Chain A
Amino acid sequence: MHEFFAQLVNGIALGGIYALIALGYTMVYGIIELINFAHGDVYTLGSFFSLTILGALGVSGEVRGPLLIVDVGVTIIGAAMLCGIVGILIERLAYRRLRFAGRLAPLITAIGVSFILENVMQVWRGPSPVAFPAVFPTHIYNVGGVGISLLQLAVVTLAIGTMLLLEFFVHHTRFGQAMRATAQDREAATLMGIDINRTIALTFFVGSALAGLAGFVSGAYYQSTWFFNGFGAGLKAFTAAVLGGIGNLAGAMLGGFLIGIIESFATWKLGGQWSNVTVFTILVLTLVFRPAGLLGEVTPEKV
């Protein structure tokens, strides 16, 4: 039973990372119906940007006290901003031209962008895993016999906090309103005076910034990263977005935590080599039997 709860905590923390990435997938899909395949690589970029910023701050290990908040805050904001800018650039250079080109051309382009980013990171940081400083104190809180680390608490708080902020942003601000209008009917939104290019760019910025945040968190969590990290994590986060109901923010969060927990238990019960197979099987089953996901609404395909 003890092991059960330990795995549950692991899974929830892992799920928090997936949830943060899944939010970006779901936002972009919600607004332009594109599976932004490069999103996972933006997440990896986030951990490399964080590494660079931490290096500039002179952080190479555990940080304690108020300095922890400063260092982590600066790194997160810096990595998120840089990733956000990369997201805007990707949209501008690779996707905008194809906005009217059907479904497959943008998806193929997105795969291309993903490969380019991976190669750039491979050249930048080498082909092997790179160590990431263990910024957070390793203190373990004992909650009813189950150890929970500060970092695990931070991941879950960050993920849920971000989701709530986003919900507010999308439903109670003018930009959010513009996003929803653009998602519903681009032409009508334009006629209502909404600058859809700016709205879509902003969506990419926010989604990519969240990926940058997730990149920092996963670096700190695993204390290592490498250029190909985003492929697997991106696929799992996409699975999370689909499982929760793509286009739905709360769904992405729920899906993220579920996938994290499932992966954690699959690793425990079946062995690590089966965890990917389990997650992708869930992806296939969800798409086949409930393509709208757990929280999504069933919508007919737009013709």
Chain B
Amino acid sequence: MIFVYIGSTILVAAFGQRIHVPVARIAVYVGLALLLSVGPVLGLGSDATLNTLADAGIFVLLALGLNIVVGFAGLLDLGYAAFFAIGAYTYAMLASPQFGVHLPFWVLLFVGAALAGAFGIILGSPTLRLRGDYLAIVTLGFGEIVPQVFQNLTRFTGGPNGIAALDFPSLFGRSFGTAAFPYYEVTLGLIGVALVTARNLRSSRIGRAWMAIREDELAARHLGINTTRMKLAAFAIGAAFAGVGGVVYAAKLSLVSPDLFQFQVSILVLSMLVLGGMGNIAGVVIGSLVLTLVNQVILPQSNVLAQAAHLPVNLSNAHFFIYGGILVAIMLFRPEGLLPSAQRQAELHESVQADGV
């Protein structure tokens, strides 16, 4: 029952308007939410499907978090995978035989979020005064340093091999084990929380401050917005989302290693945002679902698909090309993304016209 509630909240939050939501629309969302949350309980969807969906869900979480930093506040963070890594290693060190510490998954969700958020503040406080492109490079540097440090501190982190045999989460004494179903439901619930959080933040005072900073930092400062504090908040909250994602990811995989958190992961999440439409919550969700589908289903199956279509191609190594192509093509031809928020679209096109004179 709780999943129904969460699921419907997710969808209403993601797609609904704040005021005057048509009844038919609500009915569609509730129906979808029911299908997503209760369907698997009734045996809908194979384990493999749920597994893919759970992975996709983790990336939805990451994309929602990065969207707060990049989409709302306009700060390009190229080292987002670092916070994902911090969350994952939090779980790996505190729920495994590594140190003999076995804290519960549910507690570590909060610990992971808090630690990642704290690192967001630590990284952010000296760097957020930098202008956009320098900030991007500093975050990139941070994104390179963190996995490298995890790799080098072998005594604590298991070095290049990482930490394996992490505890399975459990609920009411029942272990999650290796089946995809419980992870899927947990991810779905967390996405619900994330969607509500992101949506409320966007329409709050903080959210409006972020957007003011994104559009014109100088003007925002003159309006009395404490830009440094607001940017820090965006960084910390975005990082916390990644921390939660990292905890779930580590628990689901039962393994962490430094190579899971390379630069490519940051760019993958960025491509999801760019594809769906930076700043638009529904767009971000769809962008991440589409790219995960491409990554986990279409590319691995490309040989089969190509043969079926009699095409002489094999795309199974084309990940970089696809992320890069998305970034370039969208930026050039549709900077607002596939599903833009109406406001963002207006802003982007207005600025192009204004500058083009």
Contact = CB atoms under 8 A, between A and B. Distances in A.
A112 B325 contact: yes
Interface string A35-56: 1000000000000000000000
B323 A115 contact: yes
B127 A287 contact: yes
Contacts of A118: 320, 324
A108 B320 contact: no
B46 interface: no
Contacts of A111: 78, 267, 270, 324, 327
A287 B138 contact: yes
Interface string B100-141: 000000000000000000000000001100111110111011
B76 A35 contact: no
A108 B274 contact: yes
Interface string A97-132: 110111111111101111111111011000100000
A259 interface: no
Interface residues of A, number: 47
B288 interface: no
B356 interface: yes
B172 interface: no
A9 interface: no
A274 B151 CA distance: 10
A113 B141 contact: no
Interface stretch (A159-167, A170-178, A194-202, A276-284): A276-284
Interface string B56-85: 000000000000000000101010000000
B48 interface: no
B327 to A, nearest CB: 3
A303 interface: yes
A301 interface: yes
B137 A231 contact: no
A238 interface: yes
B321 A116 contact: yes
Contacts of B149: 277
Contacts of A119: 317-321, 324
Nearest to A273: B152
A115 B320 contact: yes
A301 B141 contact: no
Interface string B184-209: 00000000000000000000000000
Contacts of A103: 131-133
B144 A276 contact: yes
Contacts of A122: 317, 320
Interface stretch (B231-239, B328-336, B338-346): B328-336
A291 interface: yes
B127 A288 contact: yes
Nearest to B353: A100
Contacts of A231: 263
Given A119-B321, A277-B148, A291 B263 contact: no
Interface string B2-15: 00000000000000
A273 B148 contact: yes
Task: Please indicate which of the listed interface residues A34, A103, A108, A120 has the most CB atoms of chain B within 10 Å of its own CB.
Answer: A108
A235 interface: yes
B328 A113 contact: yes
Interface in A223-257: 231, 235, 238-239, 242
Interface string B132-175: 11101110111011001101100000000000000000000000
Task: Please indicate which of the listed interface residues B76, B141, B335, B355 has the most CB atoms of chain A within 10 Å of its own CB.
Answer: B141
Nearest to A113: B328
A74 interface: no
Contact of B151 (A112, A114, A116, A273): A273
A100 B327 CA distance: 17
Contacts of A8: none
Nearest to B144: A280
Contacts of B270: 108, 111
Contacts of B126: 288
B218 interface: yes
A277 B258 CA distance: 14
Given A94-B332, A288-B138, A115 B127 contact: no
B326 interface: yes
Given A103-B133, A287-B138, A288-B138, A112 B324 contact: yes
A58 to B, nearest CB: 31
A168 B320 CA distance: 39
Nearest to B152: A273
13 contacts: A35-B136, A94-B332, A101-B355, A104-B76, A108-B327, A120-B321, A123-B317, A277-B145, A281-B141, A283-B138, A284-B141, A288-B127, A301-B131
